[in-house]
Amino acid sequence: MQPDSMNARRILLDVFDVALRAVDGRASVDRFLREANLPAPIEVFAVGKAASSMARGAQVALGSAVERMLVITKDGHTDPALDLAAGVTQLQSAHPVPDLRSFSNGAELEERVRSLREGIFPLFLISGGSSSLVEALRDGVSLGEVQALNVQGLESGWDIARLNIARARLSRIKGGGIARLLRERRALALFISDVPGDDPDVIGSGLLGHDVGIADSIERHVIATNETAVRAVQDGARAHGLDFEAVSTRFDGDVGAVTADLLARLRACKCDGIVWGGESTVTLPQHHGRGGRNTHLALSFARELRAGESWMLLAAGTDGTDGPTIDAGAIVDAGTIERATLSGCDVERAWREFDSGSALEAAEDLVHTGPTGTNVGDLLIAIKQPATSLRGQPMPRML
């Protein structure tokens, strides 16, 4: 079965939603903790883009066993319900480049961990984005150096693992710093992973990773991954009677190379669609427009589609934001360039100047979800549609 243009878009949005629910921070934490049998009282430390969602999961699962919570998340990602709860402190900070609040947040985290009372069990909930949201620097390192490192990594197209390792070298609390503060104290750390390999020593720059110099007593579990989301997309497609092929390896590297690889896979594909998880990179010029790696990839894909090719692509971040934008990503097809051009956009200029968000807004192809309560990297989901549906039909605006 090949869905028409409007149905294809709805199916892409539906299977993306299925994926987000499969890796939702609140649900993932709740499921794990209901079987964990933790000793009370408990103090919760949640850091990352999904921190508020994960903290809500702990609140639901543990109830009155939780004595205090410290929740540190990205601007605009807080949960208002947590503000109404006793003993909960929610703090916000900048992402992807830290600001002064990141250091006050880091000081608060350090002090609370250092002053944990005897008999309190510490529970840590860590998700992607932690690297910029909390910081405490090693002696001699300045805020300017950290900000410069983040800007360099982002503009040079470093992958998340390389950037997080570099960040950890400057930090007193990353790279096993919290483990050093806890010493041999027993603790539990749950992770939502946005990094290849799902290594706790890399997630959040190793905020709750191991310190090679000590044997700690932290029990670590990764409870949601990019691969979890990919499998959920396949399940969602089957519910629509469709067979989606999953690429077994994560995509990474330059957007152009990822786009070319994806197109080659689609042109050889005999199934109804493909889902591929990972994170691409872009190397930004000093002056650039609106957009992120997913919108740039989506626009690149639309430019390379041949006339009459019947693929529609959703490229989006599972956290609901694409780089420094409020867009999650975009859904594009062979009509995207024409729609943007008819709306007055110079698509080639937008592509050259990394202003993909403006071009895709003109085409009405952007996807908005708002903060999703998770962060497991990006998803590329492509679906085949009849060639006859590619012209003459406006794209429905959803999400």
Burial zone of 175 (CB within 10 Å; 0-12 exposed, 13-18 middle, 19+ buried): buried
Q: Which two tokens stand for residue 277?
A: 């998880």
DSSP of 73-103, one letter per residue?
EETT---HHHHTSTTEEEEEE-SSS--HHHH
**In the CATH scheme, what architecture does the domain 5-21+227-389 have?**
3-Layer(aba) Sandwich (3.40)
Alpha carbon distance 349, 362 (integer Å): 13
Beta bridge partners of 70: 45, 89
pLDDT along the chain (399 residues), means of 10: 79 98 98 96 98 98 97 95 94 89 94 96 95 83 75 72 72 87 95 95 90 90 98 97 96 96 96 97 83 96 92 97 92 96 97 96 97 97 73 39
DSSP 64: G
Q: CATH topology of 5-21+227-389 equal to that of 24-224?
A: no
CATH superfamily of 24-224: Glycerate kinase, MOFRL-like N-terminal domain (3.40.50.10180)
Q: Would you list the domain boundaries of the chain?
A: 5-21+227-389, 24-224
Q: What is the pLDDT of residue 171?
A: 78
**Within 13 Å of residue 162, how many CA atoms lie on the same side as its CB?**
12
Whole-number pLDDT of residue 2: 65
Q: What is the pLDDT of residue 286?
A: 75
pTM of the model: 0.90
Measure the CA–CA gap between 316 and 328, rounded to whole angstroms: 5
Between CA 297 and CA 327 the distance in angstroms is 14
3-class DSSP assignment, residue 284 = coil
pLDDT value at residue 75:
94
Q: Which two tokens stand for residue 396?
A: 């429905």
Look at residue 351 and give its three-state secondary structure.
helix
Q: What pLDDT sits at residue 1?
A: 55
CA distance 71 to 105: 10
- Which pLDDT value is given to residue 391? 39
Contacts with 183 (C-beta within 8 Å, 6 or more apart), sequence order: 214, 216
